[in-house]
Amino acid sequence: MTTEQSVLERIERARLRKARVKEERVTLAHGAGGKATQTLVEDVFVDAFRNPHLEAMTDGATLTLNGTRTVFTTDTFVVSPLFFPGGDIGDLAVNGTVNDLAVCGARPMYLSAGFVLEEGFPVADLRRIAASMSAAAAAAGVAVVTGDTKVVERGKADGCYVNTAGIGVLERDVTLGAAAVRAGDAVLVSGPIGEHGVTIMLARGELDIEADLASDTAPLHEPVAALLDAVPGGVRVLRDATRGGVATVLNEIAQAVRLGVVLDEAAIPVAPVVNGACELLGIDPLYVACEGRFVAVVDGEHADAALAALRGHPLGQGAAIVGHVADEPAGTVLLKTSFGGTRIVDMLVGDPLPRIC
């Protein structure tokens, strides 16, 4: 057995052990979308609420109501700052929930909106957020049909938090999920990665960089629909690459089906300014959040048709085939580097860029 095989086997054994939350108190890492989040969700919430819909661990639950296949999802947004180039917490909340429905194959229809406001929050800012949500909902063809508002004492929140839930309907005969993934499948991303996370970082003034960069936040239901129609039956699984980025999504898929994912670094679309900012911080763009990009795993025979379908939509013009699924190493993501080497792309424990959504 080679050293590489030995390392991969040890990683595999460690992953198969049931994870437990060891900390006595919640940390920021528990909300970052990486290993700590996964452990918290599985050890606390899945154990408490266990049922087949939840155990599927998808972006939304698929439910059959009076014969209609319906998808239900929820999300909470705590982004800081509230307003940033390309968007704000309002359109981010709408787009994020629309996208969770879309990557389940559903047509988004209705949203709820819940607000936690801090005493003293400017009403003008709240109007701006509401207007942004309204415009984003109209663009996505959904309606905000119910909601709730709570106000907490000054200093007990950071201005404004938003929770959304969404309902969509499955109009196509599709069942998307990691269980359908097979060796030989192709891995695609719908556009350049990491732009939202880096935009938020720059908006905080954490780096002395001036860049023409905006969040990629956008509703993805149309490019998803174009993909599903172009390769009926050929799409295995779709995921929007939010917290934890593309790397976390692919690790979750690889671990769910005990297959390997092999990425080609040279094929991954990353804007130069995103690369530059990530190099300054020592962050891999694969781990940086997107809010208008998704990962698709499709039958390898349909890869070119899938790519053409995505590039035919304005939100998918930067789409690329970035890798493939392999039998080995089981449950692991590998990156073929531009220098000819290979490295493991593991799931991070936390997130170097907290509160990006």
What is the DSSP annotation of 174-191?
Answer: ----GGG--TT-EEEESS
- 69-171 is classed CATH 3.30.1330.10: yes
pLDDT score, position 134: 99
Question: Does the predicted model carry a pTM greater than 0.85?
Answer: yes
pLDDT by residue (tens digit) across 210-232? Answer: 788 999 999 999 999 999 999 99
**H helices of the chain, where?**
3-16, 35-40, 47-49, 52-55, 89-102, 123-140, 195-203, 221-230, 245-257, 272-281, 303-311
Ranges of H-type helices in 57-122: 89-102
| Spatial separation of the C-alpha atoms in residues 277 and 243, rounded to whole Å | 18
In terms of Cα–Cα distance, which of 254, 243, 247 is closest to 284? 247
Quick one: tokens of 176? 């998307």
Percent of the chain exceeding pLDDT 90 equals: 80
3-state secondary structure of 171: coil
Give the pLDDT score at 76.
97
Residue 98 phi, psi dihedral angles, 5° rounding: -55, -40
Q: Which amino acid is at 111?
A: L
Give the lowest-confidence range in 97-111, 209-223, 253-267: 209-223
The residue behind tokens 């789409």 is 319
Contact 324, 184 (CB under 8 A): yes
d(Cα 221, Cα 118) in Å, to the nearest integer? 33
Quick: pLDDT tens for 64-85: 999 999 999 999 999 999 999 9
Residue 212 confidence (pLDDT): 86
Question: How high is the pLDDT of residue 354?
Answer: 83
Domain 178-344 falls under CATH 3.40.50.300: no
Give the residue extent of every domain in the chain.
Answer: 69-171, 178-344
Strands ordered across the beta sheet of 61-65: 61-65, 68-77, 160-169, 107-118, 143-152
